[in-house]
C-alpha cells in the first residue's frame, strides 16, 4: 500500500493508453492491498464510469489473484446508476431528495408540455412530432442540470441580428424553465440528471467534511461533468484515495498541451486537471503499468502525435525525425515498431465490413486462450457482426443488444399498429399470421394449413376491398379452415379499429396489448412467450408506460399511433442475454475505454459515424449555447477522439472503415486521415490485410464459378403439346422455355400478395366493357352510347380489383376513352356489318409429330356486307409494331385470320380476311388509336398464309427435337417480361455472356 498512498494527497495517476486499463488497475490494487490481509481488498471502494467497466474490473481481480478465490473491492459505477444504489445514497444523503422521474414518463410529460405550447412554436404537432421535440427539450434541460447552469441568461441570448426563430425558441425555453419544475413538483419527482448531480454534490461535501479513512479509488473517468470532476478532486485528496486517469499523454510537448482544445483526445483530461488545480507533471504513472514493452510505447507516441492539435501539426516532419532519433537509442525504428500490430482495412460497404470484422474475430478465437473484441459506435454495424458470427455458432457478449422493434414481440406489435392503419393489407396480414408468436387458439399444424389456404385463395393477387370480398373469395374455393381463420383474425383486429376521431395513445396501447394476447393465445388461453424473455419484458414495460403515463400525449390517429410506437420501440435496446463466448465481446466506444482484448477490431471509422456529426439543436444555436455556458458540440468529438486513441493503442488492432455507407460514398474518419498522413510523412504506408478482404469476398462465393448457360430443355416428342392458343404460339416464337415451363411442366405462376392491378385491370375491363356493350347494343347505337360505355368500363375496373383511389384517376380517362369508343362504334357500324365478340375458333395443320391444333378466342370479328371478316384486338398499352407482325413475332392477328379463312369459327363460318387491327384505348391524348397491321384483301390473306406456313415450319422444328431455348428473341425482353425468367436464370446467362460455340 505504501506504493500507492505514500505521498500526501492529492494523488493522481495515469495508466498509459497502450496498457490494458482494468488489468493494470486490478493488479496494482491487488499488489498493494492483498498483503495486508483478506479484508483489506474487500473493504476498498472503487468508482468506475460505467456498469460494464465495473464488471470488467471484477473479472480482472480474479486474474490478478492468480485464479484464486478473491473477495473483490466494492466496485460502483459513476455513470448509469439506479436509485438507491450505494455509495451515492449512504445514510441520510438522499432523505430530502425526491425520487427520479422514469425516463418514459419524463418523455411523455415533456411531450405534453411541448404540445400545449405548439401555437407559440408556430407548429402543429402530432404525438410523434411532440415526442421528437420533447427529446430535444429534455437534452437541453439535461445539459443545464449536468453543467449546473441556471438558464437565467436566456433573456440576453437573442438580439436584433438573429432570426425570429431564435426569439421564439428563447421564449419557449423560458417558459419550459418555469413550467417544468412546477410539473415535477406536482408529480413529486425530480429529473435524473438533477438528482444525480445533487447526490454527487452531497457525497463530495460529506467526503470533504468527513474524509473516508478506507481505500477510495476513482478510475477511468475523465470528469466531463462539473460535479463528477469535483468529486474526483475530493477522492484524490482523501487520506487513502487516488484518481486513475485513462491514457493521459505525458509525452505531448508543453506548447502543444497548451493548445489542446475541445476536439482533442486530451481535452477532457486537460479540463479536469485544470479544474482540480493539478499540473500534468504531477500525475504519476500507475505502478502496475511499468513495462519494457517497446512496441506499445511507440504505438502510443505515434497515435498521440497523429492526433495532436491542428495548430501544432506544422512541425510533423521534425516530430517524425525526433521519434526516430529516440528510437535509435532503443535500437529500433520507432515508426516501424509503433505501427507493428496495427493494420487498416478498407471495405466496400457495411455488409462487407461486417463480414471482415466477423472473420477477424473468428480467426482470433481459433487460437486457444486468445481474446477478441469489436469496438464500434455504430449499433447497426455491431448487430450485423453479431449476425455474421452466428453462422459459426458464436454468440458475442454485445453491448448493442437488439432494438425492441426487432424482437419477436416488438415485430408483432409493429405489424398490428400497421394493420390498424390498413386492416386489409395482404402483406401485413400474412406477416401476422406467419409470426411465430401467433396461435389464434389453434394448434400449430391447423394454423399453418389454414394460413396457407388463406394466402393462396384469399390474399394473393389484388387486395380485397373488404372482409366480405375476402370471404367470397374463400367461399368460392370451399376452404372452411381459411374462412374460420379469417373470421378469427378479423375479430381480433376489430378491437384495434379506430373511430373517425383521434384517440388517446394510452387507450390504443391498452387495446393493442389485448389484441396481442388474443393473437398469441392457444386453445387454453396461454399466451406462450409473448411477455417472456428480455424482449417480452421490454415490450410489456413500454406498453404499460403508454397505458399508465401517456396522458400528456396528444390524441393519435391510426397512422400517428403506428409512427409513435415505431419511434418508441426503435429507441429501446434489449439486452439479449443468454450464453455468450467467454473470449469475445462487442463494445461501444466508451465501454472499450477500460477493457482490452488480444485483438481489437475498431470499426465505423467514417465521418459522421466516428466521430458522429454534431447533433442538431432546434432551440439553441452554437453562439447561444456558448453564451449560456453550455458545452460546445465539439466536446463530444474530443471524447470520441480519446476513446479512439485508447482503442488504437491496443497491441493488435485492426482499423476498419467503409468506402460507401447506405449506398453513398463515405469519408474516412479524420483520425484515420491524420494517422495515414503521419505515416506518409515518415515514408511508410499503414499495414493492411488484403487476405482478409479476399476471405470475405470468397466466403459466400461459389467455388469454380461458371455462369449458367442459356437453358434449352428438350422433352420427348410425346410430352410436347399438340394444341396451343395463338397467344401461346407467340410465346413459343419469342421464348420457348416459357412454353416448356407452363404447357409441359404445368408450372403456373402465383399472383403476388397485394399485386398492383392497374395494368391488368385496364386490360380486363376494356375487353369486358366492349363485349358487354356489343351484346347489349348489337344494332343501332343509343344516344348516350358514351355514357353507357363509361359506366360499363368503370364497373369492370372496380370488379377487376382496382383500388378506389385509383378509380378516381381512371374516371377522367374513362370519359375520354368512352367518347372515342362511341365515335368508333358509330363509324364502324355505319355499313351494317355484323359484330361477333369473344368467339372461339380452331385450325388443324399437319406436322411430323401428328396433327397440331391452333386455337383462338377473338376479341372482336366484324363481317361486313362484302364478306370480309375484320379482326380487332383490344390493347390498353402499346400494340405490336407492323414489323413484329410481319416477321411472325406477334402472330395473334394473322393466325386468327387464318382460322377465320379456314372456317374455324363455327358461329361465323368461312370469311375472307379483312383488316387486321389493334385498338389502342388509353383515354389519354389521343384517347384511342386504330392500328391496322394488314389491310383487307390480298395483304391480309398473304399475312394469314405466311403465318400458317411459319407455324407449320415452327411445329415441324419442335417435332424434330428442337429444344425449348430461353429467350430466342432477346430484343423483346423489355417489352414482354416472362413469368419464368427467374427460373431460366435469364439475368445470369444474358449478362455473363454465353459460352463460345453455343
The pLDDT of 168-197, averaged and rounded, is 88
Mean pLDDT of 800-811: 77
What integer pLDDT is reported at residue 919 of this predicted model?
A: 92
Kindly tell me if the per-residue pLDDT of 85 is higher than 60.
Answer: no
Start-to-end CA distance of the chain, whole Å, equals 84
Instruction: Kindly state the cell numbers that stand for 996.
Output: 463460345
Q: Please indicate whether residue 953 or residue 115 has the higher confidence score (pLDDT).
A: 953
* 3-state SS record for 277-304: CCCHHHCEECHHHCCCCHHHHHHHHHHH
Amino acid 94: pLDDT = 64
Q: Residue 380, Cα to own-chain centre: how many angstroms?
A: 8
Q: Which residues pair with 90 in a beta bridge?
A: none
- Check pLDDT > 80 for residue 82: no
At 547, phi and psi to the nearest 5?
-70, -45
Please give the Cα distance from 428 to 414 (Å, whole number). 10
What's the pLDDT score for residue 795?
87
Residue 90 clears pLDDT 50, i.e. is over it: no
Q: Residue 91: what pLDDT?
A: 46
Q: Which three cell numbers stand for residue 253?
A: 510537448
> Distances in Å between the alpha carbon of 682 and those of 249, 336, 675?
21, 10, 11
Q: What DSSP letter does each residue of 935-955 carry, written as one string?
A: -TTHHHHHHHHHHHHHHHHHH
896-919 pLDDT per residue, tens? 999 999 999 988 988 888 999 999
Cell numbers found for residue 554: 396528444
For residue 870, give the H/E element and its range: strand 868-875
pLDDT at 164: 67
Q: What is the model's pLDDT at position 452?
A: 93
pLDDT at 556 over 60: yes
Considering Cα of 255, then 261, then 265, then 269, what sign does the dihedral take?
positive
The answer to whether the beta carbons of residues 556 and 505 sit under 8 Å apart is yes
Grid cell listed for 336: 516501424
Check: CB of residue 644 under 8 Å from CB of residue 333: no
Q: Tell me the sheet residues that pair with 415.
A: none
What would the pLDDT profile of 684-734 be if each residue is shown by its tens digit?
A: 888 999 999 999 998 888 777 777 888 999 999 999 999 999 999 989 998
Q: Which burial class, exposed, middle or buried, applies to 314 when counting CB atoms under 10 A from its CB (0-12, 13-18, 19+)?
A: exposed
Alpha-carbon gap, residue 856 to 893, rounded angstroms: 9
Residue of higher predicted confidence among 37 and 359: 359
Q: What is the pLDDT of residues 122-153, one digit of tens each?
A: 778 888 888 888 888 888 898 888 888 887 76
Is pLDDT of 965 > 90?
yes
By CB neighbour count within 10 A (0-12 exposed, 13-18 middle, 19+ buried), where does 921 fall? buried
Helix (H, G, I), strand (E, B) or coil at 202: helix
Is the bond preceding 10 in cis, omega lying within 30 degrees of 0? yes
56-67 mean pLDDT: 83
Q: 441-485, pLDDT tens digit by residue?
A: 999 999 999 999 999 999 998 888 889 989 998 998 878 899 999
Instruction: Say if CB 986 and CB 973 are below 8 A apart.
Output: yes
Q: Whats the size of the chain, residue-wise?
A: 998
pLDDT classification of 271: cutoffs 50, 70, 90: very high
What backbone phi and psi angles, to 5 degrees, belong to 370? -85, 135
Whether 76 shows a pLDDT value over 90: the answer reads: no
For residue 974, the model assigns a pLDDT of 59
Q: Which cell goes with 608?
A: 459522421
Looking at residues 329-337, what average pLDDT do you find? 80
Give the residue, 576 or 37, on which the prediction is more confident.
37
| Mean pLDDT of all residues in 392-412 | 86
67 in helix, strand or coil? coil
Average pLDDT for residues 99-119, to the nearest whole number? 87
Whether residue 295 is predicted with pLDDT greater than 70 in this model: the reply is no
Q: Which helix (H) or strand (E) holds 859?
A: strand 852-863
pLDDT at position 992 is: 63
Closest by CA to 586, choosing from 352, 394, 385, is: 385
d(Cα 793, Cα 766) in Å, to the nearest integer? 6
pLDDT at 972: 61
pLDDT at 87 over 50: no
**C-alpha 938 chain-centroid distance:** 64
CA-CA distance, 543 to 569, in Å (whole number)? 10
For residue 235, the surrounding DSSP H or E stretch is: helix 226-237
Contact 907, 796 (CB under 8 A): no
Q: What is the CA radius of gyration of the chain?
A: 38
Are 339 and 655 spatial neighbours (Cβ–Cβ below 8 Å)?
no
Residue pointed to by grid coordinates 505515416:
679
In terms of average pLDDT, the best of 190-199, 282-291, 351-360, 395-404 is 351-360
Measured between alpha carbons, how far is 736 from 734 in angstroms, rounded to an integer?
6
What does the pLDDT read at residue 310?
Answer: 73
In this prediction, residue 235 carries a pLDDT of: 94
pLDDT at 216: 93
Judged against a pLDDT cut of 60, whether residue 958 lies above it is answered with yes
Please answer whether residues 350 and 658 qualify as being in contact, where contact means their C-beta atoms are separated by less than 8 angstroms. Answer: yes
Q: Which of 303, 357, 372 is nearest to 641 (CA)?
A: 303
Long-range contacts of 113-121 (CB under 8 A, 24+ apart): 113/137, 113/176, 113/179, 113/180, 113/183, 113/552, 115/552, 115/553, 115/554, 117/172, 117/175, 120/168, 120/171, 120/172, 120/175, 121/168, 121/172
Question: Using 50, 70 and 90 to split pLDDT, how confident is the model at 159?
Answer: low
- Distance of alpha carbon 50 from alpha carbon 66, whole angstroms: 25
Written as nine digits, the cell of 982 is 427467374
Gap between the Cα atoms of 210 and 226, Å rounded: 21
Q: What's the average model confidence in pLDDT over 89-117?
A: 79
- Which cell goes with 960? 424434330
β-pairing, 372-375 with 660-661? unpaired
- The percentage of the chain sitting over the pLDDT mark of 90, rounded to a whole number, equals 39
In 3-state terms, what secondary structure has residue 958? helix
Closest CA to 357 of 696, 588, 659, 598: 696
Residues 6+ apart with CB under 8 A from 850: 722
C-alpha cell at 251: 509525452
Helices (H), 6-125: 21-33, 38-42, 51-64, 103-116, 118-121
Q: What is the pLDDT of residues 297-318, one digit of tens each?
A: 888 888 888 887 776 666 777 7
| Mean of pLDDT over the chain | 86
pLDDT band at 84 (very low <50, low <70, confident <90, very high): very low
Mean pLDDT value across residues 771-782? 87
What Cα–Cα distance (Å) separates residue 593 from each residue in 18, 20, 50?
11, 9, 10
Q: Are 818 and 795 in contact (CB under 8 A)?
A: no
Q: What is the pLDDT of residue 995?
A: 44
Which triple of cell numbers denotes residue 97? 431528495
Cell of 19: 496498457
pLDDT band with cut points at 50, 70 and 90 for residue 740: very high
Summarised one tens digit per residue, pLDDT across range 840-868 is: 999 999 999 999 999 999 999 999 998 89
Cα 186 from Cα 591, distance rounded (Å): 37
d(Cα 724, Cα 738) in Å, to the nearest integer?
Answer: 13
Global confidence as pTM: 0.82
Residue 954: per-residue pLDDT: 95
How would you list the strands of the sheet with 342-347, edge to edge? Answer: 342-347, 653-658, 599-602, 372-375, 584-587, 397-398
Amino acid at each position: 500500500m505504501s506504493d500507492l498512498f505514500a505521498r500526501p494527497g492529492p494523488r493522481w495517476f495515469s495508466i498509459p493508453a497502450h496498457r490494458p486499463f482494468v488489468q493494470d488497475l486490478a493488479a496494482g490494487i491487488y499488489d498493494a492491498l492483498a498483503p495486508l490481509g483478506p479484508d483489506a481488498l474487500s473493504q476498498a471502494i472503487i468508482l468506475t464510469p460505467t456498469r460494464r467497466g465495473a464488471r470488467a474490473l471484477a473479472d480482472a481481480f480474479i486474474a490478478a489473484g492468480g485464479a484464486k478465490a478473491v473477495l473483490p473491492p466494492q466496485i460502483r459505477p459513476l455513470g448509469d446508476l439506479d436509485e438507491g444504489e450505494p455509495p451515492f445514497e449512504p445514510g441520510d444523503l438522499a432523505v430530502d431528495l425526491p425520487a427520479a422521474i422514469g425516463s418514459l414518463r419524463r418523455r411523455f410529460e415533456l411531450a405534453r408540455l411541448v404540445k400545449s405550447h405548439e401555437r407559440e412554436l408556430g407548429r402543429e404537432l402530432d404525438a410523434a412530432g411532440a415526442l421528437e421535440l420533447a427529446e430535444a427539450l429534455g437534452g437541453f434541460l439535461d445539459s443545464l442540470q449536468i453543467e449546473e447552469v441556471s438558464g437565467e441568461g436566456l433573456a440576453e441570448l437573442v438580439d436584433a441580428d438573429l432570426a425570429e426563430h431564435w426569439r421564439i425558441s428563447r421564449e419557449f425555453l423560458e417558459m419550459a424553465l418555469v413550467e417544468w419544475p412546477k410539473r415535477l413538483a406536482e408529480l413529486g419527482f425530480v429529473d435524473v440528471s438533477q438528482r444525480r448531480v445533487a447526490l454527487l454534490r452531497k457525497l463530495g461535501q460529506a467526503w470533504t467534511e468527513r474524509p473516508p479513512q478506507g481505500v477510495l479509488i476513482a478510475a477511468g473517468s475523465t470528469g466531463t461533468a462539473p460535479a463528477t470532476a469535483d468529486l474526483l478532486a475530493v477522492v484524490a485528496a482523501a487520506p487513502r484515495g487516488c484518481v486513475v486517469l485513462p491514457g493521459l499523454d505525458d509525452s505531448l510537448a508543453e506548447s502543444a498541451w497548451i493548445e489542446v482544445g475541445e476536439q482533442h483526445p486530451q481535452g477532457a483530461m486537460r479540463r479536469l486537471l485544470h479544474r482540480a488545480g493539478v499540473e500534468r507533471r504531477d500525475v504519476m504513472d500507475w505502478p502496475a503499468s511499468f513495462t519494457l514493452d517497446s512496441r506499445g510505447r511507440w504505438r502510443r507516441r505515434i497515435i498521440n502525435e497523429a492526433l495532436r492539435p491542428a495548430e501544432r501539426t506544422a512541425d510533423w516532419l521534425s516530430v517524425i525525425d525526433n521519434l526516430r532519433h529516440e528510437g535509435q537509442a532503443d535500437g529500433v525504428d520507432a515508426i516501424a515498431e509503433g505501427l507493428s500490430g496495427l493494420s487498416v482495412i478498407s471495405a466496400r460497404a457495411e455488409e462487407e465490413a461486417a463480414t471482415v470484422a466477423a472473420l477477424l474475430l473468428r480467426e482470433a478465437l481459433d487460437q486457444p486462450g486468445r481474446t477478441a473484441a469489436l469496438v464500434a459506435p455504430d449499433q447497426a454495424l455491431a448487430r450485423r457482426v453479431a449476425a455474421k458470427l452466428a453462422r459459426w455458432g458464436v454468440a458475442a457478449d454485445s453491448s448493442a443488444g437488439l432494438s425492441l422493434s426487432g424482437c419477436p414481440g416488438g415485430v408483432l406489435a409493429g405489424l398490428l399498429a400497421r394493420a390498424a392503419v390498413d386492416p386489409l393489407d395482404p402483406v401485413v396480414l400474412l406477416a401476422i399470421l406467419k409470426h411465430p408468436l401467433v396461435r389464434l387458439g389453434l394448434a400449430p399444424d391447423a394454423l399453418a394449413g389454414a394460413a396457407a389456404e388463406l394466402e393462396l385463395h384469399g390474399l394473393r393477387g389484388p387486395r380485397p376491398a373488404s372482409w366480405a370480398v375476402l370471404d367470397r373469395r374463400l367461399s368460392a374455393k370451399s376452404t372452411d379452415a381459411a374462412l374460420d381463420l379469417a373470421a378469427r383474425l378479423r375479430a381480433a383486429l376489430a378491437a384495434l379499429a379506430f373511430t373517425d376521431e383521434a384517440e388517446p395513445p394510452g387507450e390504443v396501447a391498452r387495446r393493442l396489448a389485448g389484441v396481442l394476447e388474443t393473437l398469441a393465445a392457444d386453445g387454453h388461453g396461454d399466451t406462450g412467450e409473448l411477455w417472456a424473455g428480455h424482449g417480452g419484458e421490454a415490450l410489456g414495460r413500454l406498453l404499460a408506460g403508454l397505458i399508465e403515463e401517456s396522458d400528456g400525449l396528444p390524441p393519435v390517429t391510426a397512422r400517428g399511433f403506428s409512427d409513435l410506437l415505431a419511434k418508441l420501440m426503435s429507441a429501446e435496446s434489449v439486452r439479449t442475454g443468454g450464453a455468450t463466448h467467454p473470449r469475445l465481446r462487442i463494445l461501444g466506444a466508451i465501454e472499450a475505454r477500460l477493457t482490452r482484448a488480444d485483438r481489437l477490431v475498431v470499426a465505423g471509422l467514417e465521418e459522421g459515424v466516428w466521430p458522429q456529426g454534431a447533433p442538431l439543436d432546434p432551440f439553441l444555436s452554437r453562439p447561444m449555447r456558448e453564451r449560456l455556458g453550455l458545452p460546445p458540440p465539439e466536446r463530444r468529438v474530443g471524447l470520441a477522439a480519446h476513446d479512439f486513441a485508447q482503442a488504437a493503442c491496443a497491441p493488435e488492432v485492426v482499423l476498419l472503415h467503409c468506402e460507401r455507407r447506405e449506398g453513398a460514398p463515405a469519408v474516412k474518419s479524420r483520425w484515420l486521415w491524420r494517422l495515414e498522413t503521419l505515416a506518409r510523412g515518415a515514408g511508410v504506408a499503414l499495414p493492411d490485410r488484403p487476405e482478409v478482404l479476399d476471405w470475405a469476398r470468397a466466403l459466400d462465393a461459389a467455388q469454380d464459378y461458371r455462369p449458367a448457360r442459356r437453358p434449352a430443355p428438350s422433352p420427348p416428342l410425346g410430352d410436347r403439346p399438340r394444341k396451343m392458343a395463338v397467344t401461346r404460339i407467340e410465346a413459343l416464337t419469342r421464348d420457348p422455355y416459357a412454353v416448356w415451363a407452363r404447357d409441359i411442366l404445368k408450372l403456373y405462376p402465383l399472383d403476388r400478395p397485394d399485386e398492383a392491378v392497374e395494368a391488368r385491370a385496364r386490360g380486363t375491363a376494356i375487353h369486358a366493357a366492349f363485349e358487354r356493350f356489343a351484346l347489349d347494343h348489337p344494332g343501332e347505337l343509343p344516344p348516350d352510347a358514351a355514357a353507357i360505355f363509361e359506366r360499363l368500363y368503370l364497373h369492370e375496373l372496380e370488379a377487376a380489383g382496382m383500388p378506389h383511389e385509383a378509380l378516381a384517376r381512371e374516371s377522367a380517362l374513362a370519359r375520354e376513352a368512352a367518347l372515342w369508343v362511341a365515335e368508333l362504334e358509330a363509324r364502324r357500324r355505319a355499313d351494317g356489318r355484323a359484330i361477333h365478340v369473344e368467339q372461339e375458333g380452331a385450325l388443324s395443320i399437319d406436322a411430323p409429330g401428328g396433327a397440331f391444333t391452333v386455337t383462338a378466342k377473338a376479341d372482336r370479328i366484324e363481317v361486313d356486307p362484302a364478306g370480309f371478316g375484320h379482326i380487332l384486338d383490344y390493347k390498353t398499352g402499346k400494340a405490336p409494331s407492323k414489323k413484329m407482325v410481319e416477321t411472325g413475332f406477334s402472330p395473334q392477328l394473322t393466325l386468327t385470320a387464318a382460322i377465320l379463312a379456314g372456317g374455324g369459327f363455327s358461329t361465323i363460318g368461312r370469311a375472307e380476311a379483312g383488316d387486321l387491327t389493334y385498338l389502342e384505348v388509353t383515354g389519354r391524348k389521343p384517347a384511342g388509336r386504330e392500328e391496322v397491321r394488314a389491310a383487307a384483301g390480298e395483304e391480309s390473306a398473304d399475312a394469314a398464309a405466311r403465318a400458317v406456313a411459319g407455324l407449320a415450319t415452327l411445329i415441324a422444328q419442335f417435332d424434330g427435337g428442337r429444344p425449348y431455348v430461353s429467350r430466342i428473341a432477346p430484343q423483346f425482353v423489355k417489352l414482354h417480361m416472362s413469368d419464368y425468367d427467374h427460373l431460366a436464370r435469364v439475368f445470369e446467362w444474358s449478362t455473363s455472356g454465353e459460352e463460345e460455340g453455343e
